[in-house]
Structures are given as C-alpha cells and as structure tokens.
Homo-oligomer: A and B are copies of this chain.
Amino acid sequence: MAHFPGMERRATFAIGLLHYPVYNRRGEICTTAVVNADIHDLARLARTYGALKYYLVTPLPAQEELVGKLVGHWTKGYGARFNPSRAEALSLVKVLPSLEACREDMKGLTGKEPKVCVSGANFSEELTSHEELRELMKREDASFLIVFGTGWGLAEEVVKKADYRLAPIKGLNGYNHLSVRCAAAIILDRLLA
C-alpha cells in the first residue's frame, strides 16, 4: 500500500459551522437549525483531515442540548460500541455560542490566537485561493479556524472581521450551489490532502 499512503501531514486547525449570525433567503440575519447530517458528515471530515475540533456554533441553549444528546448517543454507550469510528469522529464536536468563543477555546488548546478563515459561495473580493491558504497552513506556527456558514451564508459582520476569505468553489459555467457538507469536503481536501 506504499503507493497510496494515508495522510501524514498534521496542520493545526479546527473547523467551525456557524448557525448564527447567518442570512436567511430574504437577506435577514437569522439563526438556523442544526442539521443531523451536518453534525455527522463534518465530524467525519474533521477526523479524516486531522482537525483539533469541530465547533458547532449556535447561541440557542435548546439546540446545544439537542446536539449534546445526539453526540452523546454516538460517543457513549450503545452507539459507541455499534460504530467506534463514528465515536472517534463525533468526539471532536464542541458546541459553542459564538465564533469568539471558538477562538478563545482554540487559543486555550494551542496557546496561540488562530487566524480565522471564512468560506462562502458568493465571495467575490479580497479572496485567498485554496493554494495560498494551503501554503500558509504549512508554516510551523500556523493555527487556523476555518469557518463554514449555513442558511444563505455568513453575515457580513463575520466576513469583515475574518483574517482570510477563501475563494468560492466554482463549478462548470460558474455553478456554485454545493451543500455545506460537500463544500467543506472539497475545501479540506484542497487545503490538506
């Protein structure tokens, strides 16, 4: 199997999925509901590419409780015995109320302030390409928090404050309507594989 080795490079990064503040389809700031497939798919991605944490960002205590129950099922007791590789992935999930809290948490884990890199299908200005970010993440002192949005995308206040805006994934004839699950998969693979 030497011809197809597993990944060996370990970058210091975490991913975050923001449920607030994001836009709804009318362009208003809203809080989206947590989606079960997003919890599982992004946790498995986080584990595959070696993320320190997968932050699920929601300010709603009821949603935090729900995620706690779902994650608990797979990381403790029957679910963990049924599927140990799923437990390994879901143990990376941490629910926090804000992006600021994620930065603080990551700082606590790594001892340094992470650079925040946001992603979005509609970004058009001041973009960082996947290749550029890939190079930045190779530096020894690199620590990155890569942020994905939900709903109709991250609120401008989040995008403005970020250190980097990742160039969107453009498909054939400019089609750019991937699910966040698929977009996150492609982005992590381009940055880290």
Measuring CB to CB, which residues of chain A are less than 8 angstroms from any residue of chain B?
1, 3-8, 10, 37, 40-41, 44-45, 47-50, 85-86, 88-89, 124, 127, 129, 167-179, 181-186, 189-190, 193
Contact = CB atoms under 8 A, between A and B. Distances in A.
A49 to B, nearest CB: 6
Contacts of A1: 124
- Chain copies in the assembly? 2
29 contacts: A3-B127, A4-B170, A5-B170, A6-B171, A6-B173, A6-B175, A7-B170, A7-B171, A8-B172, A37-B179, A37-B181, A41-B178, A41-B181, A41-B182, A44-B178, A44-B182, A45-B178, A47-B177, A48-B171, A48-B176, A50-B171, A86-B177, A169-B189, A178-B185, A179-B181, A181-B181, A182-B185, A183-B185, A189-B190
A6 B177 contact: no
